[in-house]
Structure 1
């Protein structure tokens, strides 16, 4: 599960989401509120990315990739049909 692409994408989205939420809490200025019409874009984008990260990691956890077992060749399988 560690090298599954869904886990990597979920981890990256989660990290970016945390950074945006922290940025929203620390650097919320009046000038930014005027630009966005009073909407805290960093907070909502961070929460959206966090939700997407939960979905990706949940998807990888609930439906893991299964590697098929190699087919064992028996003596009967190796003889040609005549």
Structure 2
């Protein structure tokens, strides 16, 4: 009788977590640049602080991806090559 292998989640190796980490890091960098950049640079983009808004958007995107990965984790079997019986 074949027993089912135990299952666990992908955790930190989930691609959504890696994408969230990258977007989070870039978002924090852009947000900091947006806060400290001179007003002359903002005037070049028609008065919109695009670095600040893009950074905030990236941070929100990263939070959504982390929430998605935590609420709907990918389940991986412990044993490779198990058959469904």
TM-score, normalised with respect to structure 2 = 0.75
Structure 2 counterparts to residues 1-80 of structure 1, below 5 A: 1-27=11-37, 29-68=38-77, 70=82
Tell me the distance in 2 between the aligned counterparts of 1:16 and 1:24.
12
Could you list the runs of 5+ residues in structure 2 that have no partner in the other structure? 1-10
Could you list the runs of 5+ residues in structure 1 that have no partner in the other structure? 74-82
Larger displacement relative to structure 2 (62-71 or 51-60) = 62-71
Larger fraction in helix: 1
Larger Rg, first or second structure (1 or 2): 1
Larger fraction in strand: 2
* 4+ runs deviating over 6 angstroms: none
SS in 1 for 2:20: helix
Count of residues paired in the alignment: 72
SS in 2 for 1:67: strand
Tell me the distance in 2 between the aligned counterparts of 1:53 and 1:32.
26
Larger displacement relative to structure 2 (55-64 or 29-38) = 29-38
SS in 2 for 1:2: helix
